Structure 1
Amino acid sequence: MFDRLGSQSHHRLRWFLGLFVTWLAVSAQAADAPKTAEDWLEQLGPALNATSYKGVFVYSRGDQVSSMRIAHRFHDGEVQERLVIQDGDQGEIIRRGGRVFCILPSHGRIQLDAVLPSGPFSEAFSSKLPPFRRWYAARLLDDDRVAGHRAVVVALNPKDVHRYRYRLWLEKTSGLLVKSQVLANDDTVLERFQFTMLELTDDIPDSEFQIPFEDPRQALSLDKAEARIAAAAPPPEPSQPAKFAWSLGWHPEGFQETPSPHSHTGQAVAFSDGLASFSVFIAPVGNKDMPTGISRIGATTIFMRKMVVGDQRHLVTVVGEIPPDTAMKVGRSVFVQKNREPARVGTEPGSDMAARPQATAGSE
């Protein structure tokens, strides 16, 4: 009898153990279930800022290749970052939140520069639901390995011919961007960013983000360095408004106007679809002989054309991460009018029927 009871208990224990192992396996599979491409893109935004790491990355654009050492952390509620150029002339960029310091030893000076984005694609992926999703289709490719870290690969393919394609490699544990490619429609890689060495770590000392001087005893904290530079900096020159207005008759659907880049001599308007961006500059050139035509360095296209309005000659420049045909179409849709009204864009972006000034504008 006892043998029979013992046998029943043994079988019952084996059944419970089998059930428990099966539950563990199912749970593990659920936990390891692959995320969608959209899930990874949502994780990328916070990872770009909140992940602490240090390493070396390479950036190539056309035949230009450069490498940089980086230390990055999120500390006391702000992003802190240090970039050190590894080849050519010496130089560093140190940021704390919105303050950016450019250190240029070869020029014998330290200057406070404009706000720069924190790492590749940080502006594009800063929101939870990036607006570019309407204009790009995202899908997962086969996993890969970058700088010794496992990575998922996300393809972003445009839904029209006015944008480039993107490939993003995201580190599996953090979602950090560790490699990216910008590709033309024929699969030519136009630009590439990739970590060659990467360490995910919270152990980054405060000294990593100090302003360096030739004499280490002169090293300053960012707050003191900012005060010294601000006190020594000359007041900015007041910019004069351009005495003309212009209208942009066409731009690709989905590109919205963003804060414009600074221009002393003319007017500028910037556009972005949440991932790619371009700017349009209009400036009077008088009798200066300015170059015209189109060129491309990596994924950056530059298109320049001259326009004549009355007795005024103007130079139209389109520059940004858009294909050459798109840049030319944007630049050729510009119309200039001689008056003091501010620059404006066409009322029907994405259409050739946008409102245009009545003044006749000729092109050279």
Structure 2
Amino acid sequence: MAGNVIGKYLYGRGKLAVGLCLLSTSLLPLQLKADSYPSLSCADAPSQASFTTAHEWLVSSVYAGHCFEFQARAVSIDAIGVRTLALSHRVRNGVRQQVVQHLDGPSVSVERRSIAGHLAWFPPDESDSASAADAWAEHVAEYYDITLQDKTRVAERDAVELQFSPIDSQRYHHTWWIDQATGLLLKHVLSDAQGRVLETFQITQLRSPAAYRGEVPGPTDERMLDQPWQVTWLPDGFVEQPLEPGQQSGQRVYSDGLATVSVFVSPVRQSALKEGLQRIGVSNAAVSLIDVEDQSWQLVGIGELPAELVQRIVQSVEFE
């Protein structure tokens, strides 16, 4: 997932937290693997003035998501309903602070902190690109046909439209509208293979976006956990991601650059989730219970993928 989908990203994580609140943190024996985590420098952000290709706009959107501070209002529409949101994105001492506040119903605020400039991880030998942002864009282009559409306007701002059509049936269709002046994502529509809209996320007011001029940390070693279980089947293009601070030790996260799926494995103690499939907003969740020797385990997968694929991923979990 690109870093500039602030509202959608955080809101999705909020639904994930609610939907999986019964999960216990797994106390599994862990061994850390060191992998270089890609990063970018805001000083290298390209100028949008001369962009003519989808690839250039994709790369620009990555930089914008990390290197612009802003306040915004947004609306999210899915099967659950319509919600209005207040968004905030700041960078302080190389740390991104992203906040989403729900403006309807009970007061709910979701905050996420992450290291500025650190991107999704993909195998370095897949691309000879000069930057991590280019490598991400090229990885996405392997699994989606990306077309640059006519220029338009969103929230009173000039924008370009990008359509992401999956090359197979293992993922959804995405449409992005990117702000021409900053590269920030203004609108995102997620659709299934039949063209049915699953979710619309749109910024309705973007306030005073300003480029961050400070330093961001260089590449560091992030956690790739060696756990006693593996996912043995994934859709093409999905790559395991390093865990960020605060993520559960019994968790693995996979991404194809746009879609993300998380798998949680924990011992069954007092209560367990009901086996089967369920919908959590735009995400599909699959729950399975298995016995390994004298221990019962709860396997949960959740992601923005067709339900049958999330279930197949969960059912492929094997213990060493």
TM range (shorter): 0.5 to 0.7
Root mean square deviation of aligned Cα: 3.5
Q: Which amino acid aligns with 1:85?
A: H
* Secondary structure, counterpart of 1:252 in structure 2: coil
Q: Which amino acid aligns with 2:248?
A: S
Partner residue of 1:162 out of 161, 165, 170: 170
The answer for the alignment partner of 1:49 in structure 2 is: 66
Alignment of 1:61-76 (within 5 A): 61-72=78-89
TM-score, normalization: structure 1?
0.58
Return the structure number with greater strand share. Answer: 2
* Secondary structure, counterpart of 2:181 in structure 1: coil
Partner residue of 1:127 out of 115, 133, 151: 133
Q: Which has the higher contact order (CA 8 A, sep 6+)?
A: 2
Q: CA deviation at 1:74?
A: 5.5
Q: CA deviation at 1:51?
A: 3.1
The answer for the alignment partner of 1:315 in structure 2 is: 298
Alignment of 1:187-202 (within 5 A): 187-202=195-210
Contact 2:149 2:161 in 1 (8 A): yes
TM-score, normalization: structure 2?
0.65
Larger radius of gyration: 1
Q: Deviations over 1:331-359 (max 9, x none)?
A: 2222335xxxxxxxxxxxxxxxxxxxxxx
Q: CA deviation at 1:34?
A: 6.8
Measure, in 2, the Cα distance between the counterparts of 1:117 and 1:297. Answer: 28
Q: CA deviation at 1:168?
A: 0.3
The answer for the alignment partner of 2:248 in structure 1 is: 263
The answer for the alignment partner of 1:115 in structure 2 is: 113
Measure, in 1, the Cα distance between the counterparts of 2:61 and 2:105. Answer: 31
**Relative to structure 1, is the Cα distance of residues 115 and 173 closer, same or farther in structure 2, using a 3 angstrom cutoff?**
closer
Q: CA deviation at 1:321?
A: 1.8
The answer for the alignment partner of 2:105 in structure 1 is: 88
Alignment of 1:23-42 (within 5 A): 35-42=52-59
Q: Which amino acid aligns with 2:297?
A: H
The answer for the alignment partner of 2:189 in structure 1 is: 181
Measure, in 1, the Cα distance between the counterparts of 2:187 and 2:179. Answer: 9
The answer for the alignment partner of 2:220 in structure 1 is: none
Partner residue of 1:328 out of 303, 311, 317: 311
Q: CA deviation at 1:308?
A: 2.4
Q: Deviations over 1:284-334 (max 9, x none)?
A: 225745401011234311001121234432222111122112112112222
Measure, in 1, the Cα distance between the counterparts of 2:178 and 2:194. Answer: 24
**Relative to structure 1, is the Cα distance of residues 42 and 33 closer, same or farther in structure 2, using a 3 angstrom cutoff?**
closer
Measure, in 1, the Cα distance between the counterparts of 2:275 and 2:289. Answer: 7
**Relative to structure 1, is the Cα distance of residues 53 and 285 closer, same or farther in structure 2, using a 3 angstrom cutoff?**
closer
Number of residue pairs matched?
246
Q: Which amino acid aligns with 2:135?
A: L
* Secondary structure, counterpart of 2:240 in structure 1: strand
Q: CA deviation at 1:86?
A: 1.6
Structure 2, unpaired ranges of 5+: 1-47, 122-130, 212-224
